[in-house]
Structure 1
Amino acid sequence: MNNIEKINFDSKDKFYNYLNLKLTGLICEEPDWLANLSNASALLWLLMHDINWAGFYLYKNGELVLGPFQGKPACTHISLGKGVCGTAASELKTQLVKNVHEFPGHIACDSASNSEIVIPILSDNNKLVGVLDIDSPILQRFDETDKKYLEKFVSIIVKYVVFPENFS
C-alpha cells in the first residue's frame, strides 16, 4: 500500500471513491481492529485537505474513550451527549457542524478547529461502537457530500473490523 498519495481531484465524488477504495485495500485482510483504525485515521490525515484532526473515540464503560488518531493531543474521555462527539454518540446520528463556535457545549481540544463532522460507528446489531471525528480549521469545511462518503467510510470499517466485545 505504499502507493497512497495525496492527489487533487476535480470532484469530491472522485476523491472519496479513491479514499474508500484505499481504505478497503488497507483493512480488508487485516484482522486486528487497532491496526485497522490506526491506518484508517492515518489515511484520512494523509489524503484529506484542510483538516487538523482525524480519529476515533470508542464507546467503553458508558463513555467515549480516545482511540487511534492523527493530530494534536485530544480529550481522553467524552460523556455521551457532551460536545459534537458525545452528541453523535447519544443520538446515533452524524453531526455536521459548519461552525463549532455555534455548537452548544462544543469541546475544544484544538482551538484552531472551526468545523467538524462526527459519524457514529454502529455494530451489525446497531449498538454503538464509537465515532469517527474529523476537525478542520476552515469554517464550513464539511458538507452533505462529505457526510455521504464519510458515512460510507465508516460502513467499510464496520464491514471489515471485528471490534472487541468490551466496545459497545
Structure 2
Amino acid sequence: MSASATTIPYKDKSKFYNELCSEASGIAEKEWFVNLANFAALLKQHLPKINWVGFYLAHNGELLLSSFQGLPACTRIALGKGVCGTAARSMESIIVPDVDQFPGHIVCDSASRSEIVLPLIKDGNLLGVLDIDSPVLARFTEEDRVGLQKLTEILVTKSQWPQSFT
C-alpha cells in the first residue's frame, strides 16, 4: 500500500479524479472498515476547500457515523432527514450549493456552506453514504459528483462487506 503525501492538482477535474481513483485503488484492502478510514483520509488530503469528509453507515433504519476527517459530527441520522438521510432514502446523490437553503439541513459544523452526499449501494442495498462539506458556497459540481461516484464504486467493489449490510 502506498499513498501520495503530495496533493494531486485539482485544475483539471477529470484528470484529478482519475488520479484520485487510481490512488484509491492502490490503497484499497478487502476490509471495509480499513477502506472507510483510508478513503476519508485520502479525500481530506487531496480534495481542496473542504472542512469535513466521512461516512455514515446504514444500520437498523438509520445512518450511524463511521470513519471521518474533521470536527466531531452528528452520530445518528434518520433516513429521510437532512442531506445525508435524504440521499440515503432516495439512493441518489445530492449536491447542495447552499446548506442554509436545504429544508431540514442538520448542522454539525457551522462553518459548512455547501455539501455533497453520495450513497454507497451494493446489489441494490444501501450500505451508507459518503458526506463531504465545504466552507465555500456552491463548492461542488456535477464533475465532482461523477468523479466521487467512481471513487465510491471502488470502495464498494473492493471491500468485503458483512452480511448485515448486503
Q: Provide, for residues 13-72 of structure 1, a one-character-per-residue CA deviation record: whole Å limited to 9, x for no partner.
A: 111111111000010xx2211111100000000001000001100001110000100000
Partner SS for 1:142: coil
Give the Å deviation of 1:162: 1.3
Question: Once superposed, what is the RMSD of the aligned Cα atoms?
Answer: 1.0
115 and 9 in structure 1: CA distance in 2 versus 1, 3 angstrom threshold: closer
Q: Which runs of 5+ in 2 are unaligned?
A: none
Q: Does 1:156 align with 2:154?
A: yes
**How far apart, in 2, do the equivalents of 1:20 and 1:158 lie?**
13
SS in 2 for 1:152: helix
Q: 1:144 to 1:2 in 2, by over 3 A?
A: closer
* 1:139 aligned to which of 131, 137, 140: 137
Give me the whole-angstrom Cα distance separating, in 1, the residues matched to 2:57 and 2:10.
31
Q: In the superposition, relative to structure 1, how do residues 61 and 47 fare at CA in structure 2: closer, same or farther (>3 Å)?
A: same
TM-score, structure 1 length as denominator?
Answer: 0.95
Q: Name the SS for the 2:38 alignment partner.
A: helix
| Pairing 1:36–2:39 present | no
Which residues in structure 2 correspond to 1:49-60 (within 5 Å)? Answer: 49-60=48-59
Return the letter of the residue paired with 2:126: L
Cα shift at 1:167: 2.4
TM-score (norm 2): 0.96
How many residue pairs get aligned? The number is: 165
- State the partner residue of 2:90: 91
Q: Distance in 2 between matches of 1:128 and 1:2?
A: 28
Distance across 2 between alignment mates of 1:12 and 1:53: 20
Query: Aligned equivalents of 1:126 and 1:5: distance in 2?
Result: 36
In 2, Cα distance between the equivalents of 1:42 and 1:166? 25
Distance between the aligned counterparts of 1:7 and 1:32, measured in 2?
Answer: 25
Equivalence for 2:16: 15
User: 2 CA distance for matches of 1:159 and 1:46?
Assistant: 22
C-alpha deviations, 1:104-154, integer Å up to 9, x for none? Answer: 00001000000000000001x210000000000000000000011111111
> AA paired with 1:136?
S
Query: After TM superposition, what 4+ stretches of structure 1 lie above 6 angstroms from structure 2?
Result: none
CA distance in 1, matches of 2:71, 2:10: 27
Letter in 1 for 2:16: F
The AA in structure 1 aligned to 2:38 is N
Instruction: Determine helix, strand or coil for the equivalent of 1:153.
Output: helix
What is the aligned-residue identity percentage? 50
Rounded to whole Å, the distance in 2 between the matches of 1:89 and 1:10 is 30
Structure 1, unpaired ranges of 5+: none
